[in-house]
Structure formats: C-alpha cells, structure tokens
Amino acid sequence: MAVRLVKIVSLLLFFIMALLIFLPKKNLYYYAERELKNYKAVIDNEQVSSRAFGLDIENANLYIEHIRVAKIMDLHITTYLIYNVIEAKQIRLSGVARSFLPTQVDQLKISYRLWDPLEIVFEANAPFGKVRGSIFLKQKRVKLVLKPSKVMKNEYKDLLRKMRREKSGEYSYEQSL
C-alpha cells in the first residue's frame, strides 16, 4: 500500500513538473499582454525568452494611456505553481513623476503564495530606501512600510508627510484600492 502511494505521488509530481517545464510560457505572456491592453496598458520593445520554470523579459517599456510610465531593464517571472515570483531590476519611472516620486528602483520582488491566496507581497530596494508591503485582495487594501534613505528624507519630504512615522523610524502607509 505504501509503495503504491509513493508511486502515485511520484507520478503526480513528475506530471506537474513536466507541465510547468513544457507550458508555452511565451504564449501565456503574449496573452497577458493582450489582456493588459483592455486596461490601456502596453508593454513594448521587450525581448522575451523562456526558461524551464519561468520567463525572462529585457528592455521593456511600460505605457499607460499612450504615456511612457517606466522602463524595466530586467524582468524575471518564475512560477512553481504554489509559489510565484516576479523580480524586476533597474526600473526607471518617467521623468513626469520626478517632482513628487522617486524615479529609480534598483530591485522589485513581488510574490504570490498559494497557501495565502488573498495576499500579494512585495519588497523593493532603491536609492530612496527599502520598501516592503502587501496587497490584500479581499479587503482591496495596500499596506507598505518604508525605511527611507537620506535622499528620501531630503528630497521627498512632502511624500513622507503623507505617511505615518513609526517609533522605529520607518514610515507606513495604508490605502484602499
């Protein structure tokens, strides 16, 4: 009985791994890109390459309503079915936002876990400091905690005033979506 159970579990794991490896990831990406157009968001000029458990995208420009919002140098999407990660490196926001938002993000990591399906977790490192937070899907709420750098404290005081300062020196922000 135990041997048969081990065989069934092994076969199931093999099937799931084969499904993830042979999944047409590029086609799924282009489908997602088409769906984003419904929200007036377009990803352009990117180079897409497939990996065993993910997808690599380089030099992507993000446009919202025909306005270039960001340039993303490296984007890695990794899926393990129960744990999915999007890692972006060298993000440059449009200069339009420069007066009220920091425009450079060195690294952004977004993760989604099947065992906590109503929360998306993110963290970012940038010259303005470190950010970590969550998007709570059921409550339609976003919460973030910022550990600001000196650059952030000096150049973006107005933005920090909109956040709540914690005793630890970090700033928190919560908003309904």
Average pLDDT score over the chain: 92
User: Residue 78 domain-assigned?
Assistant: yes
Q: Is residue 64 part of a domain?
A: yes
Query: 147: domain range?
Result: 127-176
State mean pLDDT over 98-127: 92
Least confident of 126-130, 131-135, 154-158: 154-158
Q: What is the pLDDT of residue 81?
A: 82
Token pair for 53: 């458990």
Q: 131 and 106, same structural domain?
A: no
Q: Are 175 and 141 in contact (CB under 8 A)?
A: yes
Is residue 23 over pLDDT 90?
no
Contact 137, 120 (CB under 8 A): yes
Q: How far is CA 62 from CA 9, 66, 68, in A?
A: 42, 9, 6
- Full-model pTM: 0.87
On whether both 104 and 137 belong to a single domain, the answer is no
pLDDT band at 177 (very low <50, low <70, confident <90, very high): confident
Is residue 17 pLDDT above 90, yes or no? no
Looking at the structure, do residues 89 and 166 belong to the same domain, yes or no?
no
Expressed in angstroms, the distance from the first to the final Cα of the chain is 51
Whether residue 83 lies inside any domain: the answer is: yes
Is the pLDDT assigned to residue 175 strictly greater than 80? yes
Task: Point out the domain boundary residue: 81, 110, 139.
Answer: 110
Q: Give tens-digit pLDDT for 43-53.
A: 999 999 999 99
For residue 9, being part of any structural domain is answered with no
Burial of 84 (0-12, 13-18, 19+ CB in 10 A): middle
* Domain annotation covers residue 16: no
Q: How many domains does the chain have?
A: 2
150 occurs within a structural domain: yes
Q: How far apart are CA 35 and CA 42, in angstroms?
A: 9
Determine the pLDDT at residue 116: 94
Q: Tally the residues of the chain.
A: 177
Q: Are residues 102 and 152 in the same domain?
A: no
